[in-house]
Amino acid sequence: MVHLAPEILHMVLDQVKDLPTMLNCRMVDKTFAAIAIPFAFKTIVIKKEVIKAESDITFEALSARKDIIRYVKKIVYDARAVVVPPNSKADETESMSDIEESGNSSDEYNDEEVPNASANIKSATNNAEKARILTFPPRGEEGNEEPNEQQAARFIQSMVQEFEFLHRFHNLESLGIYFPWERYDFQGYYEAFQELPTYCTIDVQLQDAILSGCAGAAKKFEGGIHLKAVELHNMLAYPSPTLELEGLRLLVKSITSFTVSVYPGYHNFQEDTSEGSTDVRFVRRMTGLMRNMENLEDLTYSNDAGSDSVSERWGQWDTLHFPRLRSLRFKSLAFDREHDEDAIATDFLVRHKATLEEIHMEDCLVRVTEPGAWEAAFEEIKEQLDHLTSFTLEPLPGPDEAGEWYLGYGWHNIDNDELETIMVGSMDDYDEEDVARDLEALKTLQETVSRRRNELRK
């Protein structure tokens, strides 16, 4: 057999993205095994919707493998396809075989894919040998049994047991949490009760339990926490008390990258108080958590949840400052303050002008307050952010291809309290010339940024 230099083997195996293939590479010889194992177990994906047999190796058993855990740099906890309701047992565990089957030997994890739970259930029903789909509540054969507190407790315990062993991965650098996506199935429950029963608040309880599990793990890490990145996806805009736990703040204190995406579906928790609605109080507590991120360099924030939370977020961010912030990514955010003298919120960007190099905005809009709102923002960004070398806004402001919607401009639908794009012809204060000025200001900004980037490369 031809023996290749270890450096070449590293380059070859670095191109292998299929985990089963990588695991097979271990069998070639000792040299391949020594190089393949760190690649194979660099990232572990815990797919919570799949229920395996009792004979499978658990996450707990994996965490005891000292020959493996030292190579684990990233753990992804994926509960997107956990379904509420229909039938299933809720007290079975995750397995090592599922981790190996769904693991990914690359650094990237597909955070855009939204699982089709219905298809997963049908597939599992058609083939009993395939993995069953974890669901709550367990409804029994007739589908009429009401869940109870004991069932909820067992379900939550089955969902969070992995966090008891998270601290064993002492070289962990990245933690991704994906909360369930399939929530529309039980949306109707909210309309039937003034006080939400257990099976309606199960998502809130689960979110609290997962965050609490992270906070508990933070206090157990031996030799300190080495996390550099934390991702929280599909979070309910609910003011979970766990967002203020000391352990959670300790977990994020030293991270350089933070991603949070708010679940876009509207949930009326019927808990409005004198301190504000649930989504407003969520923004306050999330901002409080972010204040602990002293070393933050990359921030991704997605989805506004309700009209009140938009102005509240910009207001809370008035005093938010990250001394090392280099990159910003916004998705589906309203970029203005309603009922404020300032038509659009650029204060947060300007406050970071000494460090900001990249700004990427996707599906963002400005609630129409006065003509030229985007134009004024682009002008200020161009003049104030001297270090900016990349700026993107997609899609571009203006009518879509069908000429039906004004992309980049919006309003709040009072019926569902969600941000919506404005229809062409419905903007009384805007016309084609106003949109053209916005586009021209964007073009000038991007030309300035491009010229600055080219100068730095010389």
Give the confidence band of 113 by pLDDT, cuts at 50, 70, 90. Answer: very low
pLDDT on residue 94: 36
Q: How far apart are CA 329 and CA 361, in angstroms?
A: 6
With a cut of 90, say whether residue 29 has pLDDT above it. no
324 with 284: CB under 8 angstroms? no
Between 292-301, 425-434, 436-445, the lowest mean confidence (pLDDT) is in 425-434
Check residue 150 and give its pLDDT. Answer: 75
Distance of alpha carbon 9 from alpha carbon 12, whole angstroms: 5
Cβ atoms within 10 Å, residue 450: 13
pLDDT over 80 at 54, yes or no: no
Q: According to the model, what pLDDT value does residue 440 have?
A: 94
Q: Which helix (H) or strand (E) holds 398?
A: strand 398-399
- Looking at per-residue confidence, does 425 or 232 come out higher? 232
Write out the H or E segment, with its range, that includes residue 401.
none
Most confident of 220-224, 331-335, 380-384, 424-428: 380-384
Output the pLDDT for position 195: 44
Under the banding of pLDDT at 50, 70 and 90, the label for residue 254 is very high
Exposed e or buried b per residue across 15-42, where buried means at least 16 C-beta atoms within 10 angstroms of its C-beta: ebeebeebbebbeeeeebeebbbbbbbb
User: Mean per-residue pLDDT for 395-424?
Assistant: 78
Q: What is the pLDDT of residues 259-270, one digit of tens each?
A: 999 987 655 555
Dump pLDDT digits (tens) for 151-181: 778 888 888 999 999 999 999 999 999 998 7
Q: Give the position of tokens 């031809």.
A: 2
Orientation angle between helical segments 432-457 and 373-384, nearest 10 degrees: 20
Nearest to 49 by CA among 75, 77, 74: 77
Which of 74, 20, 13, 68 shows the shortest CA–CA distance to 44?
74
Task: Assign 411 a pLDDT band (cuts: 50, 70, 90).
Answer: confident
pLDDT score of 157:
87
Question: What is the average per-residue pLDDT within 9-32?
Answer: 69
Characterize the bridge pairing of strands 43-47 and 74-78. Answer: parallel
**pLDDT for residue 45:** 87
Among residues 287, 237, 284, 239, which one has the least CA distance to residue 263?
237
Please tell me what DSSP assigns to residue 89.
-
pLDDT attached to residue 52:
58
Look at residue 127 and give its three-state secondary structure. coil
CA dist 430 and 440 (Å) reads 15
Q: How far apart are CA 66 and CA 163, in angstroms?
A: 17
**Residue 77 confidence (pLDDT):** 93
Contacts of 124 (CB under 8 A, 6+ apart): 130, 131, 132, 133
- How many other CB atoms sit within 10 Å of the CB of residue 248? 23
pLDDT digits (tens, 9 = 90+) for 301-334: 998 866 678 888 988 998 899 999 999 999 989 8
Grade residue 21 by pLDDT with cuts at 50, 70 and 90: low
Mean predicted confidence (pLDDT) in 368-394: 86
How do 132-133 and 50-51 pair as beta strands?
Answer: antiparallel
Peptide bond into 239 cis (omega under 30): no
How far CA 152 is from CA of 156, 209, 307, in Å, comes to 6, 12, 32
pLDDT above 90: percentage of residues in the chain: 33
Q: Tell me the pLDDT tens digit for each residue of 81-98.
A: 776 543 333 333 333 334
- Tokens standing for residue 173: 């650098």
Average pLDDT, the chain: 76
Residue 406 has pLDDT above 60, yes or no: yes
When mean pLDDT is compared across 76-85, 115-124, 132-141, 432-441, the lowest value belongs to: 115-124
In terms of pLDDT, which residue wins out, 247 or 432? 247
Which ranges in 202-257 belong to alpha helices (H)? 202-218, 246-252
Q: What is the pTM of this model?
A: 0.82
> How many of the other CB atoms lie within 10 Å of CB of 363?
18
pLDDT score, position 148: 64
**Alpha-helical runs (H) found in 253-353:** 278-290, 307-316, 347-351
Q: pLDDT by residue (tens digit) across 59-75?
A: 888 899 888 888 899 99
Whether the per-residue pLDDT at 112 is higher than 70: the answer is no
Write out the two tokens for 349: 């960007």
Here the tokens at position 385 are 């952010």
> Alpha helices, DSSP H only, in 175-237?
189-192, 202-218
